[in-house]
Amino acid sequence: MHIHQTPQDGLVTNDEVGPSYFDDGDRETTVRAAVRLVNALRRFGIDIGGIGVSAVCDTCTPDREAYKIELGKLRTDQADAMAAQLNAYADEFQRMHDRKRAASEKPPVTRNRATKKRKRNRT
């Protein structure tokens, strides 16, 4: 708390504050990141119910960030199911990538028989 004036000095005339006075930009930024993470995971069929945003204790950690995204606690079967789901998508993406690469590679140039015959006839 900072006291800038004593009662003997009279009332201080300052601008009034509104609800935005209590806005916390660091928290809002972290919440936006958490929302993006949850939505991205849901696209893969994964829903983490215990996700949250919490303030970091600045006296017990040297971490510079004011807030952290907590992914909650998962049972072993939940972690296995999420890993399997993500790996299934990763495998499919790899197959798609491999097919695209194979389709874009040009086959080696070979002459067909008709081309060879025309060349022979010209000589």
Mapping DSSP to helix (H, G, I), strand (E, B) and coil, where does residue 67 land? Answer: strand
pLDDT at 5: 64
Range of the domain at 67: 23-73
Q: Compute the distance between CA of residue 42 and CA of residue 52 in angstroms, rounded to an integer.
A: 15
pLDDT at 122: 65
Give the count of domains, the chain: 2
Per-residue pLDDT of the chain (123 residues; tens, 9 = 90+): 555 666 666 676 677 888 887 778 888 899 999 999 999 999 999 988 889 999 888 777 677 778 899 988 889 999 999 999 999 999 999 999 999 999 998 776 676 666 666 666 665
Structural tokens at position 10:
């009279």
pLDDT at 23: 79
Q: Are residues 69 and 87 in the same domain?
A: no
pLDDT at 3: 59
Q: Compute the distance between CA of residue 47 and CA of residue 72 in angstroms, rounded to an integer.
A: 11
Q: Which helix (H) or strand (E) holds 28?
A: helix 25-43
Query: Does residue 12 sit within a domain?
Result: no
